[in-house]
Amino acid sequence: LVKEGLRNVAAGANPLALKRGIEKAVEKVTQTLLSSAKDVETKEQIAATAGISAGDQSIGDPIAEAMDKVGNEGVI
């Protein structure tokens, strides 16, 4: 994204217009992601989500266990 933005600026694009366009795109993507987000509350949901995120289901249970100990705002 940065590389293409710099290429466009070098080709004569208005940097402020480019920045505004990127900010609009970020806002739209953020809204779309937030509207499709689902709360993860149970230990089982946390384990499943952690396993998917890690690309390794065996990591899900230890992550869920750690989150159970430190809470949602804790650092793991």
Mean pLDDT by 10 residues, the chain (76 residues): 92 95 96 95 94 95 95 88
pLDDT recorded at residue 44: 95
DSSP state, residue 5 = H
In degrees rounded to 5, what are phi and psi of residue 70?
-100, -15
pLDDT recorded at residue 76: 87
What does the domain layout of the chain look like in residue ranges? 2-36, 38-70
Residue with tokens 């466009």, as numbered in its chain: 8
State how far the alpha carbon of 37 is from the alpha carbons of 9, 15, 30, 59, in Å. 35, 33, 10, 22
pLDDT recorded at residue 2: 87
Q: Tell me the whole-structure pTM to 2 decimals.
A: 0.59
pLDDT recorded at residue 57: 92
